Structure 1
Amino acid sequence: MRNITRSYLFDDIPNKLKEPNTLDLIEEIAVSGNVSQIVPAIYRDPYPAGIDQGNQSRIIDKLNEWYFNKCAYCERILFLDVEHYRPKGEIRGLNNELVRNTGYYWIGYEWSNLIPACITCNRQGGKISKFPFLIGSVQVTNPTFIGGVLDKGKCNIKCDEFLGEKPLMLHPEIETNFLNYFSFTVDDDLSGITIVGIDDDERGNGTINICNLNRWETRKDRLQSVIKDFISSNKVIVEKLKINRINESLFKQMLENNIQKLYNDCDDLLLNHTLLRKFIVSSPANFNSIILPFTDDNFKEIISTAFENYTPL
């Protein structure tokens, strides 16, 4: 996951969500509490037939201005759903047990409640309608009206009422430092990288379990997308040093260039797995735990020392 800042201003909301018919429907749903009135075609809003836009909806395209085509949860470029962070229908717990049979029906079309999620994080073994709460959390169960009209200010995910809830599930636009919640470890067989929750409230582990963030293809993708490039680059210069194609001074310079690229990639929003990248460079201990298992034994100390002594640009 990565922290995202996006606009909730009316001018930045996709047109389909603020058309008069949609706004009228929002009021009807808020009054009736009938979740079956929520029409998926509105928030999916597909392009007309004949327009070559792949399988993305206009809502997804608008979300991608902030998420760069990534799933909000696993940070991979995959086919994306329009996901309701707070479920619009029923709400289930961590083990898929029913918590309550009505969800947040009045924010089924709320722009701030919609985020992009891949079909695996969202549906296939993932979140679906899971939205457990920490013990003792207050829960918002009904919309607020002013003069018979839905209070739109209390529909935004950053309103005081929603911020007062304590969901187990983390949100990419509310939490500011995910390294407070997550760590990473190398799989025992060196086949992938596993994400691990570290906070006392278990929100990190809860989010991992809800979205199944350690499925095998995601663990392997973390390794391939983040670690392999750095390891391969180092292997090339190590081999050149072994056969005297470069001297130690040039080796050090090239190694530092590779390390600097690790830092640069942390802030490249076009790349997958920026949280893992930030974790690696956040301390020598983290760097060693993720990088050294894949490093030639004869050069582990050299590469570890190089990182510890390097000052990023």
Structure 2
Amino acid sequence: MRKVVKDLNNIPASLVSKEAIDSLQNIIDTKDNSLIKSDIYRGKYLKTDGSKGDEVVEKLAEIYHGKCAYCEERTLIYIEHYRPKGNVQGSRHGGYYWLCYEWSNLLPACHECNKIGGSKGTQFPVSNKHLTHADCLTNNQKINPVKVKAAYLNSKEAPFLLHPEIDEPKEFLAFEIDANKNGVSIIGIDGIGGRGDKAIGICNLNRQPLLLNRLDYINNYVNTEIKKIFAKLSKGSISKEMFREEMKELFQKLDSHKTDEKRTFTLLRWFVMESADNFHKLAISNLPRNEQEVALAFFKAYKNGTL
């Protein structure tokens, strides 16, 4: 999960159309979430060539670069309601039906992060209480523009699930090599049972494919590249000066990757390059001891600008 900037004033037309407004009023009047129209929150429209498109899906795919808001893997985009539009698992809350077309409540998610049973589904635990539609009314307005925004609601409910457009994931999440060395685990760093831990559990962010795919990044884009440079030095195909330059170029490339939002696992990429300790534990701990020491020394020199 990474911090994402979404322009909440640049709302897809389908979400503010007359059809959407009329539909929302009907849903609120009846409190019937079965009346929610996926064509509206997906943004169905007819393209000039006669084919059909999904405006909201397309806009979220552009903003999130085709990645899941939670696990950061590239995915077929499914519209995820951060606050469930239906019933909320484990509570008597009837669901946030009045937020069904709210732009700040719509995120792109993969099937695995959002499926019912084992992942988010309709889970939405909070520290305070789940707000109802009545809690968000002002002067008998059916919808208050401020009180339906995710940032306002989060300030009142204190949800455990991180919202990538509101929260800074770096403050809650970190990474480590799995205890069995079968992958890279994501861990919470804001205390046991804190938002980091809860978010990981809610979306099942340590499922086996994710552990392995994160490890593949470490192995294929970091560890293997370092091994190649050491192998060239060992074979005498590069000089010590060239070795230094190649290590520097690799670190520069890894630094550029951590800010490239189009890449998968940008939080992991940032974490690996954030400190010498992170780099050592995740990227080079399986190298021979002498190579670990050399690579770590070069990394520290790169970080302090002396490489």
Query: Please, what TM-score do these two structures have when normalized by structure 2?
Result: 0.91
Deviation per CA, 1:19-57: give whole Å up to 9, x if none. 10111111222232221111222212446598678xx73
Give the aligned partner of residue 75 of structure 2.
78
Deviation per CA, 1:138-179: give whole Å up to 9, x if none. 4312241434442222111122x4422111111001112x22
From 187, 198, 203, give the equivalent of 2:189: 198
**2: CA distance between counterparts of 1:6 and 1:30?**
26
Alignment of 1:10-159 (within 5 A): 12-46=10-44, 57-92=54-89, 98-123=90-115, 125-134=118-127, 137-142=128-133, 143-159=136-152
**2: CA distance between counterparts of 1:197 and 1:147?**
41
- Give the AA of the match of 2:83: R
**2: CA distance between counterparts of 1:47 and 1:77?**
24
Asked whether the 8 Å contact 1:225–1:272 carries over to 2, the reply is no
**1: CA distance between counterparts of 2:143 and 2:290?**
66
Give the aligned partner of residue 245 of structure 1.
237
**2: CA distance between counterparts of 1:122 and 1:18?**
25
- Describe the SS at the equivalent of 2:181: coil
**Is the alpha carbon distance of 1:61 and 1:312 closer, same or farther for their aligned partners in structure 2, counting shifts above 3 Å?**
farther
Give the aligned partner of residue 289 of structure 1.
281
Give the aligned partner of residue 2 of structure 2.
2
**2: CA distance between counterparts of 1:20 and 1:275?**
39
Q: Which consecutive residues of structure 1, in runs of 5 or more, have no partner in the other structure?
A: 93-97
Q: What is the aligned length? A: 300
**2: CA distance between counterparts of 1:33 and 1:42?**
18
**2: CA distance between counterparts of 1:302 and 1:189?**
26
Asked whether the 8 Å contact 2:14–2:44 carries over to 1, the reply is no
Deviation per CA, 1:245-303: give whole Å up to 9, x if none. 11111111111111122211110011000111111112111111101233244311100
* CA RMSD in angstroms, aligned pairs only: 2.1
Query: Please, what TM-score do these two structures have when normalized by structure 1?
Result: 0.89
**Is the alpha carbon distance of 1:21 and 1:145 closer, same or farther for their aligned partners in structure 2, counting shifts above 3 Å?**
farther
Q: Which consecutive residues of structure 2, in runs of 5 or more, have no partner in the other structure?
A: none
* Stretches (4+) displaced over 4 A: 46-53
**Is the alpha carbon distance of 1:34 and 1:182 closer, same or farther for their aligned partners in structure 2, counting shifts above 3 Å?**
same
1:185 matched to 2:176: yes
Alignment of 1:263-302 (within 5 A): 263-302=255-294
**Is the alpha carbon distance of 1:66 and 1:312 closer, same or farther for their aligned partners in structure 2, counting shifts above 3 Å?**
farther
Deviation per CA, 1:201-237: give whole Å up to 9, x if none. 5111111111111111111111223442122211211
**2: CA distance between counterparts of 1:121 and 1:162?**
21
Identity of aligned residues (%): 33
Asked whether the 8 Å contact 1:260–1:312 carries over to 2, the reply is no
**2: CA distance between counterparts of 1:218 and 1:47?**
34
Task: Give the deviation of 1:188 after TM superposition.
Answer: 3.8
From 197, 206, 209, give the equivalent of 1:217: 209
**Is the alpha carbon distance of 1:28 and 1:52 closer, same or farther for their aligned partners in structure 2, counting shifts above 3 Å?**
closer
- Give the AA of the match of 1:4: V
**Is the alpha carbon distance of 1:222 and 1:47 closer, same or farther for their aligned partners in structure 2, counting shifts above 3 Å?**
farther
**1: CA distance between counterparts of 2:5 and 2:62?**
11
Asked whether the 8 Å contact 2:61–2:77 carries over to 1, the reply is no
**2: CA distance between counterparts of 1:196 and 1:51?**
47
Of 263-272 and 178-187, the range deviating more from structure 2: 178-187
